[in-house]
């Protein structure tokens, strides 16, 4: 009896201990949110057998990080150079466009001043000669300007007088020439009939009648042109007078508007540009005078009417390079054709071509020389561009402008090169430190 309660006590204690463990395990599972696992088997006291390590997929070597470069360096060098030059050209084109708009707004003033510059380049040697003879500058300027304007005025009056004196005779000769041309067309192998000629004349009369309003408005616009022409003549006269008298001080005042860094180069380019302009004007006047004299003598001996006015027109048109010579020669040939017939017209054409060939191959290279050496292609393009932009005045001014620009650009390029060489010569030479074994 004494052993049973002890055994029962130990059994009850074991069950109580097992219940407490189960309660603790259940509490842990509930706390972890899981389910009650089966009781784990007791670990085997024998050492575990070594297991083969699981085979893993081979890892790729990590790629080295490539640093991102500047986007500008990724653009090819040629494209970068083209872009840099492109936006600068756009800025220059915009500046030129604005400048042309401003010039077109005050076109009359600009042309008057340019004509004054050309006349000053032509008359300035006379002022210098009078000053060397002891004549005061003001009096020398006044005498030269008055004499020049009187000569120009007499020349214009003479041309007008000759045209008015010969206009009736010329119209009669033109009518006779038209009749001769009509008879020639009727008898020619082209089989032109009188009915076709009358139809052409009728169409011309109808065209003139239909455009009567335009012709009238053109006549009214001609009055405005005459007023503008007189205004331009007065502005050119005043510009010439003041440039002859005070040109040096005007140039010195203009230099003050130039930045100080570029003033020395511009001051050196100015006299060279003026020398080029003076050489161009004097050479052109001499060449035009020779053309007018020899072509005028040729058409005079061929009995072409109004030979002297035609010679004056040839002289004036010679100031427009290439185009002026062609236009004046064509006018002389046309007058010879309608007044004296085809043979005289052919002879006039031969005279004009001979004189122009002598001018182009002998006179211009000898008289103008290297002072205004401009390529013929540049002459043609500049005359065409000047005529498209500003008409006859632009064609007259285009070539001297190109010649002066060529001189200025060439001088500034040489000046920049000389300055760079001078700075390289004056740059101090740094002494290289001695090595320890040379001390």
Token pair in block for residue 330: 């064509």
State how far the Cα of 220 lies from the Cα of 395, in Å rounded to an integer: 25
Concatenate the DSSP letters of all residues of 239-280 into one string.
Answer: HHHHHHHHHHHHHHHHHTTS-HHHHHHHHHHHHHHHHHHHHH
Residue 242's CB is within 10 A of a number of other CB atoms, namely 15
Say what the alpha-carbon torsion angle 129, 132, 135, 138 is, to the nearest 10 degrees: 70
- Write phi, then psi, for 60 (nearest 5 degrees): -80, 145
pLDDT of residue 439: 46
What are the respective helix, strand and coil percentages of the chain, to the nearest 5? 80, 0, 20
State how far the Cα of 252 lies from the Cα of 431, in Å rounded to an integer: 44
Q: pLDDT digit of tens for each residue in the chain (439 aa)?
A: 445 556 666 776 777 777 777 777 777 766 665 544 445 555 555 555 555 555 555 566 566 655 666 766 777 888 888 888 888 899 989 998 898 888 878 888 888 888 888 888 888 888 888 888 888 888 888 888 888 888 878 877 877 777 677 666 666 666 666 666 667 666 766 666 667 666 766 666 666 555 555 545 544 455 677 777 788 888 888 888 888 888 888 888 888 888 888 888 888 888 888 888 888 888 888 888 888 888 888 888 888 877 887 888 888 888 777 777 778 888 888 888 877 778 888 888 888 888 888 877 776 667 666 556 677 777 778 878 887 877 777 777 888 888 888 888 888 888 888 888 887 777 655 445 545 454 4
pLDDT of residue 215: 47
Kindly report whether the global pTM for this prediction surpasses the value 0.85.
Answer: no
pLDDT of residue 90: 92
Pure H helices in 321-375:
323-340, 342-358, 364-367
Token pair in block for residue 116: 């004054």
State how far the Cα of 107 lies from the Cα of 99, in Å rounded to an integer: 12
Contact 325, 284 (CB under 8 A): no
State how far the Cα of 439 lies from the Cα of 357, in Å rounded to an integer: 79
pLDDT of residue 226: 75
């Amino acid at each position: 009896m004494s052993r049973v309660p002890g055994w029962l006590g130990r059994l009850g204690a074991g069950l109580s201990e097992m219940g407490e463990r189960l309660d603790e395990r259940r509490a842990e599972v509930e706390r972890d949110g899981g389910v009650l696992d089966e009781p784990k088997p007791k670990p085997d006291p024998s050492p575990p057998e070594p297991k083969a390590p699981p085979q893993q997929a081979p890892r790729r070597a990590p790629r080295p990080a490539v640093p991102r470069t500047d986007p500008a360096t990724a653009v090819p060098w040629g494209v970068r150079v083209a872009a840099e030059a492109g936006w600068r050209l756009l800025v220059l084109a915009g500046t030129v466009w604005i400048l042309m708009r401003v010039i077109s707004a005050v076109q009359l003033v600009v042309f008057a001043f340019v004509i004054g510059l050309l006349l000053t380049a032509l008359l300035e040697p006379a002022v210098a000669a009078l000053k060397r003879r002891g004549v005061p500058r003001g009096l020398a300027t006044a005498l030269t300007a008055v004499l020049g304007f009187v000569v120009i005025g007499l020349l214009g009056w003479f041309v007008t007088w000759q045209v008015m004196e010969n206009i009736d005779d010329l119209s009669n000769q033109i009518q006779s020439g038209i009749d001769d041309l009509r008879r020639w067309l009727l008898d020619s192998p082209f089989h032109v009939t009188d009915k076709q000629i009358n139809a052409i004349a009728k169409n011309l009369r109808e065209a003139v009648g239909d455009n009567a309003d335009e012709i009238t408005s053109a006549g009214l616009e001609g009055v405005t042109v005459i007023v503008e022409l007189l205004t331009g003549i007065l502005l050119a006269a005043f510009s010439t007078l003041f440039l002859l008298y005070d040109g040096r001080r005007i140039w010195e005042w203009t230099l003050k508007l130039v930045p100080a860094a570029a003033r020395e180069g511009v001051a050196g380019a100015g006299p060279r540009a003026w020398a080029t302009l003076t050489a161009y004007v004097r050479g052109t006047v001499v060449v035009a005078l020779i053309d007018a004299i020899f072509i005028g003598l040729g058409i005079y001996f061929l009995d072409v009417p109004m030979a002297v006015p035609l010679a004056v027109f040839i002289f004036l048109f010679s100031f427009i390079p290439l185009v002026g010579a062609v236009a004046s020669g064509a006018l002389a040939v046309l007058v010879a054709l309608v007044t004296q017939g085809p043979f005289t017209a052919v002879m006039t054409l031969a005279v004009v071509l001979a004189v122009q060939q002598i001018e182009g191959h002998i006179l211009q290279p000898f008289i103008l020389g290297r002072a205004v050496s401009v390529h013929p292609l540049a002459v043609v393009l500049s005359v065409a561009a000047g005529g498209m932009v500003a008409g006859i005045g632009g064609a007259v001014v285009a070539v001297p402008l190109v010649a002066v620009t060529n001189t200025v650009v060439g001088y500034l390029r040489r000046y920049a090169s000389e300055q760079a060489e001078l700075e390289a010569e004056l740059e101090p030479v740094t002494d290289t430190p001695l090595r320890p074994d040379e001390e």
